[in-house]
């Protein structure tokens, strides 16, 4: 039986609300950079970062890995996830959110509810959990950054949710998405996320690729239709990931998601939720994925974490690399900052970090890493040299030579004739990479 004797305010004994104490503080449970009301580039830090705690890693995972049992011994995870255990988990979650001073959280439907055996039971247990969330949110003022349906943990989804060979699995998943989208709207959530963990294949030998892509396009189109029908104003966000758990996932990276959206005519309604560790698994830098999403006009939100340079899976560690954080915040600010999105800590403490207090160390450090990145990025922008350099590098495109190429009546032959006539002889110009790297390092 789960131990449900504890209640809100009692699991993280001795932890007070985390306060800003400045860079010289020796207190490990204080923010050294995150000063939520401090105005940076005309906006409060809290409004720049819009950070969220994710329900799943912090409150649903007991430290299990593929070789070993849970190590954390969270009391609410000790037995069956029944209604009492789900309620106890929720009380602990909100105690944590409030003490951390988190403005947002993110959740999967199954994270917040009692375990269900049937679809009908899913609907009723989830409804009860949403009532609970609503009450906790009203009291604490913590908001939903996004909700999502878990369409990957249960064995029924082993061969995919939308892309399953069995249409009943599609219908089951569609029901979950309908309920979770409606709940996210009711809770005032800012976005709705779809991560296709099982929407891919383990072997092409048993896979009809064309059908599966059409099924996924259909699923997404139906979700868009329902979003409009119920008047959910936030965007739908696809979270790209190249593989893990499947060998190949269809929403591989930002570029492939964009191609998919264009093919199914969904590019106006759907954006991306970019995750740092997923970018690196796809062979990109995190900065690349943000810059590309911005240039395609589909940057929605960010799952902030980091991988491990020596291994190739989604380790979901808390971000802590100052230079990566400066460039992340720089790209975000250049993209105009978040509108509905935010930084969701899709991150978990290590399996040996067994004390409840370790959850605070992880999140406090992560928030501070972002805040420090924000200050560095703001200083880099105020310095102006990086932006000036890039603008100067492309300046020719704003002059005659560039404008003529983009003129409506321009042809390849016309451009070639003019080039021949002028006998154009372009001179190589230094890219100044080392100079720029040194410049950025001054703000890390
Ligand atoms: C897994 C994903 C997942 C999504 C939500 O790798 O990051 O946690 O963010 O389903
Ligand atoms: Ni994620
Ligand atoms: Ni992930």
Query: What's the CATH code of the domain at 253?
Result: 3.20.20.150
Cα separation, 303 vs 145, whole angstroms? 11
Closest to 179 measured CA to CA, from 112, 237, 273: 112
Same domain? For 405 and 370 the reply is: no
pLDDT of residue 10: 82
314 CB near ligand 1 (under 6 Å)? yes
Kindly state whether residues 320 and 376 are assigned to the same domain: yes
Phi-psi region of 141 (alpha: psi -120 to 50; beta: other; left: phi over 0): left
Does residue 6 belong to any structural domain of this protein?
A: no
Would you say the CB of residue 289 lies under 6 angstroms from ligand 1?
Answer: no
Instruction: Write out the two tokens for 1.
Output: 């039986």
- If one residue of 61, 147, 195, 314 were mutated to test the ligand 1 pocket, choosing by the most ligand atoms within 8 A of its CB, it would be 195
Phi, psi of 55 (to 5 degrees): -70, -40
In a domain, 3, yes or no: no
Mutating to test ligand 1, I would choose from 157, 302, 303 the residue with most ligand atoms within 8 A of its C-beta, which is 303
143 token code pair: 């908001």
Both 287 and 430 in one domain: the answer is no
pLDDT above 90: percentage of residues in the chain: 96
Low-confidence ranges of the chain (pLDDT < 70): 1-9
pLDDT one-digit tens code per residue, 124-164: 999 999 999 999 999 999 999 999 999 999 999 999 999 99
What per-residue confidence (pLDDT) applies to 3?
Answer: 42
**Are residues 209 and 353 located together in one domain of the fold?**
yes
User: Does residue 1 form part of some domain?
Assistant: no
- Quote the CA–CA distance of 186 and 206 in Å, as a whole number: 40
Tell whether 306 and 398 lie within a shared domain. Answer: no
Q: Is residue 12 part of a domain?
A: no
Q: Is 239 in the pocket of ligand 1 (CB under 6 A)?
A: yes
Q: Looking at the structure, do residues 116 and 143 belong to the same domain, yes or no?
A: yes
Q: Quickly count: other Cβ atoms within 10 Å of residue 140's Cβ.
A: 15
| SS3 at position 313 | coil
Q: Is residue 205 part of a domain?
A: yes
Among residues 383, 405, 424, the one where a domain terminates is 383
10: in domain: no
Strands 343-345 and 143-148: unpaired
Of residues 334, 422, 439, 436, the one with CA closest to residue 393: 436
Do residues 62 and 32 both lie within one domain? Answer: yes
Same domain, 416 and 328: no
Two tokens at 77?
A: 């995870």
Closest atom, ligand 1, to C-alpha of 344: 9
* Same domain (yes/no): 338, 430: no
Q: Say what the pLDDT of residue 9 is.
A: 57
Residue 252 lies in a domain: yes
How many separate domains does the chain show?
A: 2
Give yes or no: residues 400 and 321 share one domain.
no
Residue whose CA is closest, atom 3 of ligand 1?
195
| Whether residues 87 and 218 fall in one domain | yes
Burial class (CB in 10 A: 0-12, 13-18, 19+), 256: middle
Q: Is residue 8 part of a domain?
A: no
Say yes or no: 333 and 420 in one domain.
no
pLDDT of residue 352: 98
- Residue-range definition of the domain harbouring residue 406: 394-441
Rounded to the nearest whole angstrom, what is the distance from the C-alpha of residue 405 to the centroid of ligand 3? Answer: 42
Q: How far is CA 438 from the centre of its chain?
A: 30
């Amino acid at each position: 039986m789960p131990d449900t004797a504890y209640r809100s305010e009692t699991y993280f004994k001795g932890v007070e609300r985390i306060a800003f104490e400045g860079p010289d503080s020796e207190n490990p449970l204080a923010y050294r950079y995150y000063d939520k009301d401090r105005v940076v580039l005309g906006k409060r830090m809290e409004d720049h970062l819009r950070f969220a705690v994710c329900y799943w890693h912090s409150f649903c995972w007991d430290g299990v890995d593929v070789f070993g049992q849970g190590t954390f011994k969270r009391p609410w995870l000790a037995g069956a996830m029944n209604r009492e255990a789900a309620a106890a988990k929720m009380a602990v979650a909100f105690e944590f959110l409030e003490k951390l001073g988190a403005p947002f959280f993110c959740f999967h439907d199954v994270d917040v509810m009692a375990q269900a055996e049937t679809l009908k039971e899913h609907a009723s247990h989830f409804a009860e959990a949403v009532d609970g969330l609503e009450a906790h949110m009203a009291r604490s003022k913590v908001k939903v950054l996004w909700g999502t349906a878990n369409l990957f943990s249960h064995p029924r989804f082993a061969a995919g949710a939308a892309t399953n060979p069995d249409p009943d699995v599609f219908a089951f998943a569609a029901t979950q998405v309908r309920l979770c989208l409606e709940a996210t709207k009711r809770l005032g959530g800012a976005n709705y996320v779809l991560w296709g963990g099982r929407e891919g294949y383990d072997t092409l030998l048993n896979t009809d690729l064309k059908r599966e892509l059409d099924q996924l396009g259909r699923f997404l189109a139906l979700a868009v239709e329902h979003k409009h029908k119920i008047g959910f104003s936030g965007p739908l966000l696809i979270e790209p990931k190249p593989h893990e758990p499947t060998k190949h996932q269809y929403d591989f990276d930002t570029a492939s998601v964009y191609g998919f959206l264009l093919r199914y005519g969904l590019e106006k309604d759907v954006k991306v939720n970019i995750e740092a560790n997923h970018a690196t698994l796809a062979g990109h830098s995190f900065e690349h994925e943000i810059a590309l999403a911005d240039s395609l006009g589909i940057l929605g939100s960010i799952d902030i974490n980091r991988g491990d340079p020596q291994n190739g899976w989604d380790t979901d560690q808390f971000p802590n690399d100052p230079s990566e954080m400066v460039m992340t915040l720089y790209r975000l600010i250049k993209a105009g900052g978040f509108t509905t999105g935010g930084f969701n800590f899709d991150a978990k403490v290590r399996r040996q970090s067994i004390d409840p207090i370790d959850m605070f160390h992880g999140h406090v450090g992560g928030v501070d890493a972002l805040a420090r990145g924000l200050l560095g990025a703001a200083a880099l922008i105020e310095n102006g040299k990086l932006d000036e350099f890039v603008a100067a590098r492309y300046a020719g495109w704003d002059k005659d030579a560039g404008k003529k190429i983009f003129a409506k009546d321009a042809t390849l032959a016309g451009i070639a004739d003019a080039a021949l006539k002028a006998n154009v002889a372009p001179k190589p110009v230094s890219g100044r990479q080392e100079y720029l790297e040194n410049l950025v390092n001054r703000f890390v």
